[in-house]
């Protein structure tokens, strides 16, 4: 069976990266367009690169497919539908979540992905009256640990949700995705380094490698301002020094101060941590 065929209500998680966009293309191809009971959703944290927002908008226009843009809100509904023009660009949804929690996400407690994306999608679908659905996620065959984790727990503990990985089922690797975009007449305007987009997802996500983060700050120092501000914003008396995103490396303010030091963004010994935000 074609792994990109949908059967019943299906949520297609679009992270805004090349991999999830490739998955969306294959779904449209397999189903002769987007079925009526399918929804494509993009969750904006406010910390995505502007190139990501342009790419999501361009995929929608060029492929003539509706992509629902969602943002977390600390209100009764917990989400808001936005679009390319009204989407947050200064970390507002992420900051609202941090203020609500009064502590920072970290490699152990990655609540940013859960609240800003996973639960935001779920709340929106339930507002449409959905109770059970498949969730297509852009996990490739060359991500074995992520594949194994989802196959061991397809619902992720959420009633009515069944996660599917059509790219993994199809044996797709990052090089297949790279070759696909090389053949297209548009692309995500972020560097593609051997099939990896180091600039993707939140601009200075704390799961990125240390030297990669330093290099990204060196390339554009203002990227670190928001992250440093968040590390100084926590008022929880039980969290020393206001809290940091990571305890095992310097703060974002300290990394801003290292701006005169050269680092290799793509160092082999500087692998980041996998996150289910997608690529």
Burial pattern 88-107, b for ≥16 Cβ within 10 A else e, equals beebbbbbbbbeebeebbbe
Query: N- to C-terminal Cα distance for the chain?
Result: 25
- For tokens 């943002």, what's the residue? 71
φ/ψ bin of 102: left (φ > 0), alpha (ψ from -120 to 50), beta (otherwise): left
The tokens for 101 are 């929690």
| Residue 161: its H or E element | strand 161-164
Grade residue 195 by pLDDT with cuts at 50, 70 and 90.
confident
The tokens for 93 are 């949804």
> In the prediction, which pLDDT does 262 show?
58
Lowest mean pLDDT among 72-81, 100-109, 165-174, 192-201: 192-201
Q: What is the DSSP letter of 196?
A: B
The tokens for 262 are 């050269």
- Average pLDDT of every residue of the chain: 91
Q: What is the pLDDT of residues 116-168, one digit of tens each?
A: 999 999 999 999 999 999 999 999 999 999 999 999 999 988 899 999 999 99
Q: What is the pLDDT of residues 29-54, one digit of tens each?
A: 999 999 999 999 999 999 999 999 99
Q: Which residues make Cβ contacts (< 8 Å) with residue 210, sequence separation at least 6? A: 249, 270
Q: How many Å separate Cα 173 from the centre of its chain?
A: 18
Dihedral angle, C-alpha 143, 144, 146, 147, nearest 10 °: 110
> In the prediction, which pLDDT does 205 show?
95
64: nearest Cα among 121, 13, 25, 6: 25
> In the prediction, which pLDDT does 260 show?
59
Q: What is the pLDDT of residues 102-115, one digit of tens each?
A: 989 999 899 999 99
Distance (Å, whole) CA 212 – CA 174: 19
> Is the pLDDT confidence value at 70 over 90?
yes
Dihedral angle, C-alpha 255, 256, 262, 264, nearest 10 °: 60
| Phi, psi (deg, nearest 5) at residue 38 | -120, 145
231: nearest Cα among 242, 222, 239: 242
> In the prediction, which pLDDT does 201 show?
85
The tokens for 54 are 């342009």
| Phi, psi (deg, nearest 5) at residue 54 | -65, -40
> In the prediction, which pLDDT does 233 show?
87
> Is the pLDDT confidence value at 14 over 90?
yes
Lowest mean pLDDT among 59-63, 88-92, 220-224: 220-224
Q: What is the pLDDT of residues 240-262, one digit of tens each?
A: 555 899 999 999 999 988 865 55
For the segment 86-108, the average pLDDT, to the nearest whole number, is 95
φ/ψ bin of 216: left (φ > 0), alpha (ψ from -120 to 50), beta (otherwise): alpha
Distance (Å, whole) CA 72 – CA 161: 20
> In the prediction, which pLDDT does 269 show?
47
Beta strand 79-82 with 133-136: parallel, antiparallel or unpaired? Answer: unpaired
Predicted TM-score (pTM) of the model is: 0.90
Q: What are the structural domains of the chain?
A: 10-182 (3.40.50.620), 210-257 (no CATH)
């Amino acid at each position: 069976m074609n792994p990109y065929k949908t059967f019943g209500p299906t949520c297609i998680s679009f992270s805004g990266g090349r991999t999830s966009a490739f998955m969306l293309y294959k779904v449209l191809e397999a189903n002769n367009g987007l079925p009526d009971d399918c929804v494509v959703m993009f969750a904006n944290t406010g910390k995505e690169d502007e190139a990501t927002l342009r790419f999501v908008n361009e995929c929608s226009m060029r492929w003539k497919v509706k992509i629902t843009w969602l943002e977390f809100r600390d209100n009764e509904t917990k989400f808001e539908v936005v679009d390319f023009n009204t989407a947050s660009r200064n970390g507002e949804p992420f900051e609202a979540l941090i203020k609500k929690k009064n502590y920072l996400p970290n490699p152990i407690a990655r609540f940013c992905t859960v609240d800003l994306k996973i639960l935001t999608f779920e709340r929106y679908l339930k507002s449409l009256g959905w109770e059970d659905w498949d969730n297509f996620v852009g996990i490739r065959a060359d991500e074995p640990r992520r594949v194994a984790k989802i196959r061991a727990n397809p619902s992720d503990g959420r009633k009515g949700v069944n996660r599917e990985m059509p790219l993994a089922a199809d044996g797709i690797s990052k090089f297949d995705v790279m070759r696909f975009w090389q053949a297209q007449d548009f692309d995500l305007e972020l560097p593609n380094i051997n099939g990896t987009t180091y600039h993707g997802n939140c601009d200075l996500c704390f799961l990125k490698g240390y030297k990669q983060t330093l290099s990204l700050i060196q390339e554009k120092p203002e990227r670190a301002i928001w992250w440093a501000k968040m590390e100084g914003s926590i008022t929880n008396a039980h969290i020393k020094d206001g809290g940091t995103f990571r305890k095992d490396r310097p703060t974002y303010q300290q990394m801003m101060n290292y701006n005169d030091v050269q680092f290799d963004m793509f160092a082999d010994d500087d692998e980041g941590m996998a996150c289910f935000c997608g690529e």
